[in-house]
Amino acid sequence: MLLPIPALIGPEDVAALRAIIDAAPWEDGNATSGHQARLVKNNRQLPEDGAAAQQAGQIVLTALASSPLFIAAALPHKIYPPMFNSYSGGQTYGLHVDNAVRVKAGTDWRVRSDLSMTVFLEDPAHYDGGELTIETRFGAQSVKLAAGDAILYPSSSLHMVQPVTRGCRVASFFWIQSMVRDDMARTSLFDLDQSIQTLATQVGQDNPSIVRLTGVYHNLLRQWAEA
């Protein structure tokens, strides 16, 4: 599933978040990279254990908790604390696949990365390049969204950030462990949920068919959920 989530974070919260992270010290993005990532990654990153990343990350987490679309699509069990990166002056992140398991530094807390998410935090008119290119079975999809918009996609996907040739691309990124590990099952549940919501607006939430379909949804979730 490749799903845009428009206006995940509103303009006022984007501005507040940017004020926090823009004033903070940044480091080489490879400070937390493994060997393979170091070969293709060239960016800057906010130290994930710093106060700025934690404060700004809370804004992102609050927005996620308030997004019915995100909850329905991701069915989140665990969310890795949001991180922040920037690209400028030709910086890029070449083709790669995210690690299957993300371990929080200095702890044994870990997340299986079923889904990856990028939240764009800069007006796309302010920079050239920087598209998130995601390989899918239908070909490569190029994503460059408005500040506050997000894209959710399988962590198993090959993806890259195109070189930024003008201005600066700023984003938050993180990983989600879903209650439903299988992407096809999770996508089917999302499609069923969205269809139920659409039909409910037409015939009413208490319509017997809607009640039965809702039961089907929850029984499938009960069968597939690991949490």
Q: What does the pLDDT look like over 97-142, one tens digit per residue?
A: 999 999 988 899 999 999 999 999 999 999 999 999 999 988 999 9
Q: What is the pLDDT of residues 163-176, one digit of tens each?
A: 999 999 999 999 99
141 & 220 share domain: no
Determine the pLDDT at residue 227: 73
Q: State whether 208 and 159 are in the same domain.
A: no
> Residue 36: is its pLDDT beyond 80?
no
Same structural domain, 163 and 191: no
Same domain as 87, residue 36: yes
Does residue 213 sit in the same domain as residue 103? no
The CATH number assigned to the domain holding 164 equals 2.60.120.620
- Radius of gyration of the chain from Cα atoms? 18
Asked whether residue 23 falls in the same domain as residue 84, the answer is yes
- Return all residues near 189 (Cβ < 8 A) that are at least 6 apart: 75, 180, 217, 220, 221, 224
| Closest to 60 (Cα-Cα) out of 16, 104, 27 | 16
> What pLDDT does residue 19 have?
98
Indicate if the pLDDT at residue 26 is higher than 90. yes
Please say if the pLDDT value at position 77 is more than 70. yes
Structure tokens at 168: 């600066």
State the residue range of the domain holding 199.
183-224
What pLDDT, on a 0 to 100 scale, did the predictor assign at position 37?
Answer: 64
H/E element holding 36? helix 35-40
Q: Same domain for 170 and 194?
A: no
pLDDT at 30 over 90: no
Whether 208 and 135 map to the same domain: the answer is no
Q: Examine the pLDDT at 32 and tell me if it is beyond 70.
A: no
My answer on whether 39 and 90 are in the same domain is: yes
Shared domain for 159 and 192, answered yes or no, is no
Token pair, residue 190, equals 């999302």
Both 78 and 169 in a single domain? Answer: yes
| pLDDT of 34 above 70 | no
Domain count, the chain: 2
48 and 113: one domain?
yes
Return d(Cα 14, Cα 129) in angstroms, integer: 21
